[in-house]
């Protein structure tokens, strides 16, 4: 297998260190430094393996144009991880602990960071390890909180290429009360509809529009844009509050676009494709242009099917910010040694 992050599948390579804190009797303990990357040994009756007591985060460290390293929106990702841990009913760690686990893991794996457009993808994870297969109705009280680092190239093989999106109006991605939780169970629930859409429509992603209310794909938020306006779904508890989404909303305002956060029907997506642009946003995907929308049984080309000028403008502005080629007016970059 290749160890080149630009040809290896996204997320399949790892640094050689990790940070691990243990949860025992409601208390987290962390030795205070990274350890060698190694397998865990776990009881086959561990809570996570039966009752899905797991959640995670995804953020990135980028090599800056001056050679330093910086993590993008560290504290926002820490806050979202805290919320996810709370929602799986596990004792919530001090946010400062999650922050230290991330910083120490990135520092220890810094030499694995590829040059842009590559980055070091960071994966904070919690798993419940209580060995009790009778504990379906009680939360895990033992667990591991750990941070892996993975050198990555492009999320979508082929770099910036227009994606095909299938709009799913019947099957939901997950349950509404778990929409904001970055829990593994959500992703496995979205897998069936995603594989169906790949097979039947050549789709790269499914955009979930349950009950004609378009929210997000299996791994990203979505935007409509034209020369004047940027539109995305208003926040509520039914979908993940993307940190890239928030960055795009803020940056679009800075760039002079009018920003609308409101409901978007599947019909509006099809209509918008006739005159505007569509793109997806996420830490892994960054900004991914959509070239074709399959909606209501029809395949609709977005513009001329190629990445639009506004999508590329927003993507370039975000990329410049990620890699330190633009000022950081909102304080989104956290420097890390290495
Ligand atoms: C379901 C889902 N929606 C949206 C996003 C985008 O979130 P972010 O921009 O914070 O990566 C992700 C990626 O983490 C996701 O998994």
Any idea what the CATH number is for the domain that residue 70 is in? 3.30.470.10
**pLDDT, position 156:** 66
Counting ligand 1 atoms within 8 A of each CB, the residue from 220, 223, 279, 285 with the most, and so the one to mutate, is 220
- Same domain, residue pair 121 and 177: no
Q: Where is the domain boundary, 152, 185, 216?
A: 152
The residue nearest atom 15 of ligand 1, judged by CA position, is 219
Ligand 1 pocket test target in 283, 285, 286, 287 with most atoms within 8 Å of CB: 283
| Residue 136: burial class (beta carbons within 10 Å; 0-12, 13-18, 19+) | exposed
Q: Whose CA is nearest to atom 8 of ligand 1?
A: 242
Residue 174 and residue 305 in one domain: yes
> Are 168 and 110 within one domain?
no
* Residue 12 belongs to a domain: no
Q: Average of pLDDT values for 246-254?
A: 98
Percent of the residues in the chain that have a pLDDT greater than 70, as a whole number: 99
Mean pLDDT of the chain: 96
For residues 201 and 316, state if they share a domain: yes
Cβ-contact 58, 121 below 8 angstroms: yes
Give the Cα separation of 336 and 147 in Å (integer): 15
Q: Quick one: pLDDT at residue 50?
A: 98
Flag whether pLDDT at 72 surpasses 80: yes
Counting the structural domains of the chain, the total is: 2
Q: Could you tell me if 145 and 186 lie in one domain?
A: no
Give the pLDDT confidence score for residue 158 in this predicted structure. 62
Cα 107 to the chain's mean position, in Å?
21
Q: Which of 102-106, 230-234, 247-251, 300-304 has the lowest mean pLDDT?
A: 300-304
Note down the domain range covering 268.
163-322
Nearest residue CA, atom 7 of ligand 1? 242
**Could you report the per-residue pLDDT of 131-175, keeping only the tens digit for each?**
999 999 999 999 999 999 999 997 766 667 899 999 999 999 999
pLDDT given at position 160 = 76
Distance CA 61, CA 103 (A): 10
Model pTM? Answer: 0.97
List phi, psi (to 5°) of 194: -70, -45
* One domain for residues 171 and 78: no
Give residue 134 CA to ligand 1 midpoint distance, Å. Answer: 33
pLDDT digits (tens, 9 = 90+) for 276-327: 999 999 999 899 999 999 998 899 999 999 999 999 999 999 999 999 999 9
Mean pLDDT to the nearest integer, 171-188: 93
Q: What is the CATH number of the domain that holds 266?
A: 3.20.10.10
Beta carbons within 10 angstroms of residue 31's beta carbon: 11
């Amino acid at each position: 297998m290749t160890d080149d992050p630009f040809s290896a599948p996204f997320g399949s390579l790892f640094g050689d260190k990790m940070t691990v804190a243990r949860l025992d009797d409601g208390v987290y303990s962390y030795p205070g430094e990274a350890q060698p990357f190694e397998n865990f040994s776990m009881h086959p009756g561990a809570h996570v393996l039966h009752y899905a007591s797991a959640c995670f985060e995804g953020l990135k460290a980028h090599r800056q144009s001056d050679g330093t390293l910086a993590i993008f929106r560290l504290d926002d990702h820490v806050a979202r991880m805290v919320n996810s841990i709370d929602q799986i009913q596990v004792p919530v760690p001090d946010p400062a602990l999650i922050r230290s686990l991330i910083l120490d893991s990135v520092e220890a794996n810094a030499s694995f960071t590829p040059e842009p457009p590559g980055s070091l993808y960071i994966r904070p994870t919690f798993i419940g390890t209580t060995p009790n297969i009778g504990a379906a109705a009680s939360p895990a009280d033992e667990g591991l909180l750990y941070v892996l680092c993975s050198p990555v190239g492009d999320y979508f093989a082929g770099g910036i290429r227009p994606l095909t999106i299938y709009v799913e109006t019947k099957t939901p991605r997950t349950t509404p009360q778990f929409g904001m939780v970055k829990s593994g169970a959500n992703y496995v629930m979205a897998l069936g509809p995603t594989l169906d859409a790949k097979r039947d429509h050549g789709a790269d992603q499914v955009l979930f529009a349950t009950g004609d209310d378009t929210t997000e794909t299996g791994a990203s938020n979505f935007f409509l844009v034209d020369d004047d306006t940027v539109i995305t779904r208003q926040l509520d508890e039914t979908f993940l509050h993307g940190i890239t989404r928030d960055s795009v909303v803020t940056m679009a305002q800075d760039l002079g676009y009018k920003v609308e956060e409101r409901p978007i029907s599947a019909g509006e997506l099809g209509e918008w494709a006739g005159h505007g642009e569509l793109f997806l946003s996420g830490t892994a995907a960054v900004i991914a242009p959509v070239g074709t929308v399959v909606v209501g049984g029809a395949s609709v080309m977005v513009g001329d099917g190629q990445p639009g000028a506004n999508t590329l403008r927003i993507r370039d502005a975000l990329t410049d910010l990620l890699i330190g080629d633009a000022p950081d007016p909102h304080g989104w970059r956290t420097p890390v040694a290495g």
